Amino acid sequence: MRVQNGRLAALVAAVAVAAVTGGGALAYRQGPQANAEGSVAAPLSTAASAQTPSSGTPKPTAARSEATSTPKPTAPPSQTTATPTSLPTTRIDLKTLAQGREPQVAYLYGRKVLGGAGSDITIPGTMDIQQVARLGITSLAVVTKGSGNELLTFDDNGKIIRHTPDVTQIFATDDGTAAAYLGTKLKSTGEPTGGATVYAEDAKTQNVQQVQIPGVWNTMLRGYTNGTVYFDASTTRNGTTTLYQWTPGDSKATPLKAIPSAMAVSSVDTAGSITTQANQNSCSNLLTVPAGKRLWRTCDYIIAGFTPDAATVIAGPMYEDGYGQGIAAALNAKNGSLIHEWSGVFRQAVPEDDQHLLLLADDGAGTPAAIVRCTITTGTCELATPLTKAGLQIGA
């Protein structure tokens, strides 16, 4: 999963929303009932009343532990239908959505790591939490430390078993059996230095491999699939970035010069690449990896990620500058045609599995937020977490 820590800001410099992790087949479910195009997102039809945990933290579902129970869905409020548009667009109105089951991938609620495999754990202290992920039954969290960051690794009982300095980003595989993480040293001012270290860890053996990448800037992880880690970097501070590939255990990473400004790499060796960038408009191509052959082009959206089966492209707006993205979209990976689009305020858009998209949504800075589950084919949505002002993130 993804990516991600948040939104596309200044396009190339942002963390890819497409950083997909650990959902896979575990998250498959029957989606909400279909709704008319251009309407408010339809909640699930329900047969039970709402239940919000008194602690303010969503209760884990029976899919994770037989000792816990699945939260009951809420009865959907009355719907208001907006004027239909020519596009299959759904406007997200958080107040009208019914409560569904919790995310089936890792997510952060306050200071708790929930969802996916492993136990619920609490990240101690008061330091800011930048990103979380699951690696098998262990949990990973990037937190601030001084002027920089570090990666904390927790066992299934919530005990910290490793500190890895200078880590800025995590990218876990779709099945949660491996994870890559990226280290970049920062100056005391918080300014990055040149060079990077890329790590890869296997959940079963807990064996950590690493490779040093000297003389690179603006390094970002873009994928970990089929045993290969992909990252994007430039050889100058303000230069165009190039995609690199690294097989854990190898002593060097290989630049793929045919793929500039990559945003995400899929499980079938394709990559989203920003090939035209302007102040108010950008275009991106779907390219083959490693040859860089163009399969199709879009100037309506930026390719930001893929579902685990790579059949669907997760896309963001062609231009975005502000608190969050105004739209999220699902495109057909074969030809770039639009499957569905959602409008609202989105800070993350991460595939939960091949059929569902998770959106971290709110109504603007300071307003309550929720993680929303939307069915890709129909566009219908439900709340995957209650509305809250607690810190929320979808895991890497």
Q: For residue range 75-116, what is the model confidence (pLDDT) as tens digits?
A: 333 332 222 344 688 999 999 999 999 999 999 999 999 999
- Residue 111, classified by CB atoms within 10 Å of its CB into exposed (0-12), middle (13-18) or buried (19+), is middle
What pLDDT, on a 0 to 100 scale, did the predictor assign at position 146?
A: 86
pLDDT band at 328 (very low <50, low <70, confident <90, very high): very high
Residue 379: which of 1, 24, 87, 80 has the closest Cα?
87
What does the pLDDT average to over 215-233? 96
Most confidently modeled of 57-66, 69-78, 313-322, 365-374? 365-374
Report the predicted TM-score, pTM, of the whole model to 2 decimal places.
0.80
What pLDDT, in 10s, does the model give residues 299-310? 999 999 999 999
Of 85-89, 208-212, 245-249, give the lowest mean pLDDT range: 85-89
C-alpha pair distances (Å), 225 with each of 48, 229, 276, 285, 332:
40, 7, 26, 20, 20
pLDDT surpasses 90 at 39: no
Give dist(CA 113, CA 157) in Å, integer: 12
Domain assignment present for 225: yes
pLDDT surpasses 70 at 123: yes
What does the pLDDT average to over 298-326? 89
Q: Side chain identity at 165, as an amino acid letter?
A: P
What pLDDT, on a 0 to 100 scale, did the predictor assign at position 360?
A: 97
pLDDT band at 188 (very low <50, low <70, confident <90, very high): confident
pLDDT surpasses 80 at 276: no
CA angle 276-1-326, nearest 5°? Answer: 50
Say if CB 338 and CB 324 are below 8 A apart: no
What pLDDT, on a 0 to 100 scale, did the predictor assign at position 206?
A: 84
Give dist(CA 381, CA 90) in Å, integer: 9
Give dist(CA 58, CA 47) in Å, integer: 20
Domain assignment present for 297: yes
What does the pLDDT average to over 239-254? 95
| Average of per-residue pLDDT values in the chain | 81
pLDDT band at 147 (very low <50, low <70, confident <90, very high): confident
Residue 21: which of 124, 108, 145 has the closest Cα?
108
Domain assignment present for 114: yes
Tokens at 135, concatenated: 């690696």
What does the pLDDT average to over 59-86? 34
Domain assignment present for 386: yes
Percent of the chain with pLDDT over 70: 76
Domain assignment present for 64: no
Domain that holds residue 266: 11-41+85-394
Number of domains in the chain: 1
| Domain CATH for 329 | 2.130.10
pLDDT surpasses 90 at 216: yes
Domain assignment present for 1: no
Domain assignment present for 65: no
Domain assignment present for 75: no
What pLDDT, on a 0 to 100 scale, did the predictor assign at position 215?
A: 93
